């Protein structure tokens, strides 16, 4: 479960240098393989290689890698290899997993035992249960298949490998040496249970005991289970220790005290650094909430990306939306912006062969039509057409080429485009963008592994004209001064340095439109409406408190009070309060009248939030300085249920209010629409973000939350002083509004997706 932290470019350079060094170095024969040696059973009989059936190219690459290693007797390592068909994580139904083999959940304590990161000390005893990802289950089942196969075939010693291994330059020499340094046979006839040849120590180093010059005995702290020698006796012990609980490389650390385990003093088998991986780690969401591994999450995303830049055209809105999300899931930063200013800036970059801010451009008018120039200026560029049929492709090129209003000239351009790339399938892909074939053909074309999520079949992205905006001109607007805080770094965040308007007080936006925000629901909190709100009784890793219903009370004059107390509750030393809507919303105006808590270490917030994928829009008060608000947006791509929850900091900025919010009640609002998010204070616009400023706009239904809680992050909120407790925040009212074109009302329907307003999942009575 180790997650490499290095930069991908550096990793590829290191891999290239290692490969070069190995090619020019003298070869040593390995003498520890054979059916029998001197009549003894003291040799490695077979090599089991775990490989997905659909990843034939990886098997071919592994074969080349194995044939480099020469075995005494004029043989090579591949002569001893047997393929073990890996379990495919994309096909796993977790409900069908045999519980006697795999326990699908594990505890944070089990992670902490292997990797005792001090940043987890405060939450390690909170009984945080983590569910394995399908990928982790598949890896565990694949190793289990190898162990069973070894026992069934009565193999004394087997080398078990995953197919992405790379044999280090000293592999043969070190393998021969360590075999000599291993203990003599035990009473059961075996010299050891497990011998690690490939591993990575936890960040603070593994706990170990030195056995010899080239061997140590690990106590705990080894990640990877990608290259190890297993004895028959060791396989029996592992099978008797089932079920595997958690990721298999984590679980096996918990078995070290029951096994005879050795590891080479340095890892002599590594993992290839030039291959991409779609592994997903169940621990990441927990770690990210306490500020750990954001850089490692980034690497996982970087490793997905294949060829770029990409220039794509599509036949309709649905295909365009599906392709954009598909490329986003692969880690591409995708653009479908069409403003004149954007085109001019991009054209200038292209003319000068400058690096482009986006990895993929989809239906960007005037860009794809320059395909000849693009190929010259960007030799690595590839092109994609999404179309259900060639007529649709024809219509698409007519629509985006911008060559002429005349159909004949457009078709001429279309023909020229296809002819230009004819017989060059490596440069042009024609794909049905809304068909299940999408992943296989798309990933093969780009050089990416197929992800374990379904190819997105998205509704068309909203068009600006559906908001009834007058797009003929733009008007200047002013917003409040703000300070940019450190942002996450991943494909769905544009670096602020590349944005001319982000953080500026004077910007331009589209002009007026017809319609208005219409109130759909309001609550003065004379009582807690259980049909609308639920009172939360839970916590999360970065929260020092546990939410409890008794910390929520009604105010005599109307409204609710959220109280933060110094009070023991389970593994928390504090308790506080939080409410969340039963309903989920897609777009709308969310206004809260409140007075936040003023105390170091305390946050008062209202926000929209969802997981799988993680998307969020925040307005928060930092108790250490209630004269400012923090606004933030988190974005991950995908459809409902897509397990993309990357991020830690988001994209926060601090905004000066010009008054102390803790002195009195004020009205604060978030307006969330398909093309823009706006934040208001007492009806005055203070901050606005459009698409890619610096993220795409969250586009999936989210729950609405209001809470007060003490943060574990002192850098963010300050150090909590329990002498200041109890302390409270007061919420006077909540108003939900939907943007309505003329002649519409909230009662017309619940799904307002056609006019790009609020999408409301109606709460069930008594929920």
Q: What secondary structure letter does DSSP report for 136? A: H
Question: Is 319 annotated as catalytic?
Answer: no
- Measured distance CA(591)–CA(584) in Å, rounded: 16
CA dihedral (254, 255, 256, 262) in degrees, to 10, reads: -120
What is the Cα–Cα distance from 392 to 430, expressed in whole angstroms?
Answer: 11
Give DSSP secondary structure letters for 697-735: PP-S-EEEEEEEEEBS-HHHH----GGG-SEEEEEEEEE
Catalytic pick among 616, 639, 676, 693 = 616
Q: Which two tokens stand for residue 342?
A: 């954007």
Give the active site residue among 65, 168, 591, 620.
620
How far apart (Å, rounded) are the C-alpha atoms in residues 436 and 455?
A: 6
Interior angle at CA 644, CA 454 and CA 220, nearest 5: 115
Rounded to 10 degrees, the C-alpha dihedral 420/422/427/432 comes to 110
Tokens of 719: 């150090």
Distance of CA 453 to the CA centre of its chain: 12
CB–CB of 311/381 below 8 Å? yes
* Residue 145 contacts residue 182 (beta carbons within 8 Å): no
Distance CA 185, CA 42 (A): 9
Cβ partners under 8 Å of residue 269, min gap 6 = 161, 165, 166, 167, 168, 171, 197, 198, 226, 227
Cα–Cα distance measured from residue 686 to residue 666, given in angstroms and rounded to the nearest whole number: 14
Q: Which residues contact 31 (CB under 8 A, 6 or more apart)?
A: 71, 72, 176
The DSSP bridge partners found for residue 569 are: 572
Alpha carbons within 13 angstroms on the beta-carbon side of residue 59 total 15
For helices 317-329 and 438-446, the axis angle rounded to 10 degrees is 60
Task: Give, for 407, the enclosing helix (H) or strand (E).
Answer: helix 407-420
**What is the 3 state secondary structure string of 215-278?**
EEEEEECEECCCEEEEEHHHHHHHHHCCCEECCHHHHHHCCHHHCCEEEECCCCEEECCCCCCC
Active site includes 380?
A: no
Give me 374's structure tokens: 């693009």
Cα–Cα nearest to 69, from 43, 86, 47, 97: 47
Catalytic residue set = 616, 620
């Amino acid at each position: 479960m180790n997650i490499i932290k290095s930069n991908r470019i550096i990793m590829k350079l290191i891999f290239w240098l290692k490969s070069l060094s190995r090619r020019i170095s003298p070869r040593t024969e390995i003498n520890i393989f054979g059916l029998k040696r001197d009549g003894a059973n003291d040799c490695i009989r077979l090599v089991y290689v775990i490989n997905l059936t659909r990843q034939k190219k990886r098997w071919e690459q592994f074969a080349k890698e194995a044939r480099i290693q020469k075995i005494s007797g004029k043989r090579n390592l591949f002569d001893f290899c047997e393929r073990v068909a890996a379990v495919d994580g994309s096909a796993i139904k977790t409900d069908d997993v045999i519980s006697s083999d795999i326990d699908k959940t594990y505890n944070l304590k089990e992670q902490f035992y292997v990797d005792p990161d001090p940043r987890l000390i405060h939450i390690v005893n909170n009984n945080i249960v983590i569910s394995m990802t399908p990928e982790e289950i598949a890896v565990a089942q694949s190793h289990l298949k190898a162990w069973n196969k070894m026992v069934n075939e009565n193999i004394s010693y087997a080398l078990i490998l995953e197919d992405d291994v790379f044999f280090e330059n000293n592999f043969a020499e070190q393998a021969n040496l360590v075999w000599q340094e291993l203990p003599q046979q035990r009473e059961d006839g075996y010299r050891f249970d497990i011998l690690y040849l490939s591993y990575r120590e936890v960040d603070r180093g593994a706990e170990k005991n030195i056995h010899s010059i080239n061997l140590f005995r690990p106590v705990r702290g080894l990640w990877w289970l990608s290259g190890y020698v297993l004895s028959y006796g060791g396989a029996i012990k592992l099978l008797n220790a089932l079920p595997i609980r958690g990721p298999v490389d984590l679980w096996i650390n918990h078995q070290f005290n029951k096994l005879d385990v050795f590891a080479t003093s340095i890892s002599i088998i590594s993992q290839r650094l030039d291959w991409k991986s779609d592994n997903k780690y169940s621990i990441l969401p927990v770690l990210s909430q306490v500020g750990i591994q954001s850089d490692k999450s980034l690497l996982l995303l970087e490793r997905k990306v294949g060829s770029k830049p990409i220039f794509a055209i599509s036949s309709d809105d649905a295909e365009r939306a599906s392709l954009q999300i598909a490329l986003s899931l692969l880690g591409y930063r995708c653009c479908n912006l069409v403003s004149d200013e954007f085109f001019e800036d991009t054209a200038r970059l292209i003319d000068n062969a400058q690096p482009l801010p986006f990895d993929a451009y989809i239906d960007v008018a005037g860009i794809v039509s320059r395909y000849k120039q693009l190929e010259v200026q960007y030799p690595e560029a590839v092109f994609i057409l999404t179309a259900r049929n060639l007529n649709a492709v024809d219509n698409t090129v007519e629509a985006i080429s911008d060559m002429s209003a005349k159909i004949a000239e457009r078709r001429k351009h279309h023909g020229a485009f296809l002819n230009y790339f004819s017989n060059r399938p490596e440069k042009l892909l024609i794909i049905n963008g809304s068909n299940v074939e999408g992943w296989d053909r798309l990933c093969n074309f780009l050089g990416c592994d197929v992800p374990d999520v379904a190819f997105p079949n998205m509704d068309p992205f909203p068009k600006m004209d559906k908001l009834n905006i007058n797009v003929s001109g733009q008007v200047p607007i002013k917003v409040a001064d703000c300070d940019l805080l450190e942002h996450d770094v991943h494909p769905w965040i544009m670096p602020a340095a590349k944005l001319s308007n982000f953080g500026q007080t004077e910007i331009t936006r589209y002009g007026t439109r017809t319609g208005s925000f219409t109130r759909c629901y309001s609550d003065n909190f004379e009582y807690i409406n259980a049909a609308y709100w639920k009172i939360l009784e839970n916590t999360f890793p970065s929260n020092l408190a546990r939410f409890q219903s008794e910390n929520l009370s009604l105010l005599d004059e109307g409204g609710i009070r959220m109280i933060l107390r110094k009070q023991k509750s389970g593994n928390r030393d504090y308790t506080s309060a939080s409410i969340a809507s039963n309903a989920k919303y897609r777009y709308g105006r969310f206004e809260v009248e409140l007075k936040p808590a003023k105390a170091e270490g305390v946050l008062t917030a209202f926000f929209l939030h969802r997981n799988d994928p993680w998307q969020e829009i925040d307005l928060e008060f930092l108790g250490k300085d209630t004269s400012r608000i923090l606004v933030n947006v988190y974005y991950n791509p995908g459809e409902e249920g897509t397990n993309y929850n990357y991020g830690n900091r988001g994209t926060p900025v601090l905004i000066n209010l010009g008054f102390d919010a803790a002195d009195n009640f004020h009205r604060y609002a978030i307006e969330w629409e398909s093309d823009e998010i706006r934040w208001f204070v007492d009806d005055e616009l203070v901050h606005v973000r459009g698409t890619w400023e610096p993220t795409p706009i969250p586009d999936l239904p989210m729950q609405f939350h209001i809470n007060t809680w003490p943060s574990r992050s002192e850098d963010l909120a300050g150090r909590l002083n329990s002498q200041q407790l109890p302390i409270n925040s007061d919420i006077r009212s909540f108003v939900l509004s939907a943007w309505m074109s003329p002649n519409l009302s909230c009662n017309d329907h619940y799904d307002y997706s056609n006019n790009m307003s609020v999408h409301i999942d109606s709460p069930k009575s008594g929920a």
